[in-house]
Structure 1
Amino acid sequence: MLNIFARASVSRVTDPIGAWLVRLGLTPNAMTLIGTACAVLCALWFFPRDQLLAGTFTVWGFAMFDLLDGAMARAKGGSSTFGAVLDSTCDRVADGALLAGVAWWAFTVDENEPLAAATLLCLVLALLTSYVKARAEASGLDGDGGLIERAERLIITLVGTGLAGFGVPYAVDIAIWVLAVLSVLTVLQRIVAVRRSANEIARGSRE
């Protein structure tokens, strides 16, 4: 949802940076891989060690590389098919590492099994949200939209871990349970969208 409203504003900031990085000789795919690898390492290093603030800010910083690889692709005249697949795949890896790191923290540091289970549920739902869209598009259907996409998942999760790092009680619990509920709704919304798209195509073929 945020992607729709914020993309134009963000691009005005990131496009000049992306063009500069391209002039330095970097490629969008290299930026994607660097950002993903660093985000994964930070998520799985800092969160299990109860270093929530360090984990929050480093993961957020490296997640912003995702904005830069898109800006770099635009500077080069558009993304390649392989680049688009690589970017989407790396997004899933980074999202999974973030939620796995938070679940690890919930199990070993907070000793909160319900929270850890909810975090793992969010991980599965994040993958399912992306899968519904990808499978729908592969079948020629529309499965986009919904309340929670990648930007919202990152914001909700990292706001929770960041506030917890500043000592706000139950911040992670609230963030994860809110994310779980909204993620379930998003999966349902996408399934409904796919059903609606299939019905529209069926009606069109009969007319």
Structure 2
Amino acid sequence: MLNIFARASVSRVTDPIGAWLVRLGLTPNAVTVFGTACAIAGALWLFPAGHLFAGTLVVWGFAMFDLLDGAMARAKGGGTRYGAVLDATCDRLADGALFCGITWYLFDVAHDRTTAVAALVCLVLAQVISYVKARAEATGLDADGGLVERAERLIITLVGTGLTGLGVPPAMKIALWLLAAASVVTVLQRLLAVRRSALEEKTHELG
């Protein structure tokens, strides 16, 4: 949902860094895998141990590697199809680890089963949202957009965990239930977008 102007502003910062990393001999795929591995480790180690603020900083910091690998790909003249698949796969793994770590914390440390349900809903729907888009694109249809894409999911979730870690207990509960509701809306939006795309394609074929 982040608009093209926001992405362009971010690119002005990340593109020079990406070009510098390429000059150092690093590859976009290596940065993708490194950032994902560190984000997963941080999420599954820090959140279940109750270190919510530290976990937030670590996951957010390494999630930013997702911006750098794109900048590096642009510096090399464009990404590869394998790189795109690797990037999407790593995003799913990192998202899954984030919500698993939070769910673990809620069950084992906070003993808040109600909010843990919200975290599980977010975990499942994050994967579904991405799957709808991937499956639609594989069949030549469009499923872009929606209320909460990956950037919004990370922002909402990590604001909740970060504030809770700083002593604002309701923040995580509010963030996760808000995200769960927004994720349901996003799944419906993407399914409707696929349906609209299919109808437009059918109309074009008949015309």
TM-score grouping bracket, smaller chain normalisation: over 0.9
TM-aligned CA deviation for residue 3 of structure 1:
5.3
Residue 74 of structure 2 aligns with an amino acid whose one-letter code is: R
Q: How does 1:15-54 map to 2 (within 5 A)?
A: 15-54=15-54
Return the alpha-carbon distance in structure 2 between the equivalents of residues 165 and 190 of structure 1: 33
TM-aligned CA deviation for residue 4 of structure 1:
3.4
Confirm or deny that 1:162 pairs with 2:156: no
TM-aligned CA deviation for residue 18 of structure 1:
0.4
Return the alpha-carbon distance in structure 1 between the equivalents of residues 37 and 178 of structure 2: 27
Identical-pair percentage: 71
Write out per-residue CA displacement over residues 107-128 of structure 1, whole angstroms, 9 at most, x where no aligned residue: 0111011111110110110000
Residue segments in structure 2 that go unaligned for 5+ positions in a row: none
Residue 135 of structure 2 aligns with an amino acid whose one-letter code is: R
TM-aligned CA deviation for residue 199 of structure 1:
0.6
Please list every run of at least 4 consecutive aligned residues from structure 1 whose deviation after the TM superposition is greater than 3 angstroms.
Answer: none
Give TM-score scaled by structure 2 length.
0.99
Residue 160 of structure 1 aligns with an amino acid whose one-letter code is: G
Q: How does 1:114-193 map to 2 (within 5 A)?
A: 114-193=114-193
Residue 93 of structure 2 aligns with which residue?
93
Write out per-residue CA displacement over residues 144-168 of structure 1, whole angstroms, 9 at most, x where no aligned residue: 1100000000000000000001101
SS at match of 2:47: helix
Q: Does the 8 Å CA contact 1:21/1:72 hold for their aligned counterparts?
A: yes
Return the alpha-carbon distance in structure 2 between the equivalents of residues 5 and 142 of structure 1: 22
SS at match of 2:119: helix
TM-aligned CA deviation for residue 2 of structure 1:
1.2
Q: How does 1:73-88 map to 2 (within 5 A)?
A: 73-88=73-88
Write out per-residue CA displacement over residues 116-144 of structure 1, whole angstroms, 9 at most, x where no aligned residue: 11101101100000000011111111111
Residue 106 of structure 2 aligns with which residue?
106
Write out per-residue CA displacement over residues 72-119 of structure 1, whole angstroms, 9 at most, x where no aligned residue: 000001001100100010001001100111111110111011111110
Residue segments in structure 1 that go unaligned for 5+ positions in a row: none
TM-aligned CA deviation for residue 169 of structure 1:
2.2
Write out per-residue CA displacement over residues 30-72 of structure 1, whole angstroms, 9 at most, x where no aligned residue: 0000000000000000000100011000000000000000000
Aligned residues: 207
Change in Cα spacing, 1:7 to 1:92, as seen in structure 2 (3 Å) is: same
Return the alpha-carbon distance in structure 1 between the equivalents of residues 3 and 112 of structure 2: 32
Residue 158 of structure 1 aligns with an amino acid whose one-letter code is: L
Residue 41 of structure 1 aligns with an amino acid whose one-letter code is: A
Q: Does the 8 Å CA contact 1:3/1:151 hold for their aligned counterparts?
A: no
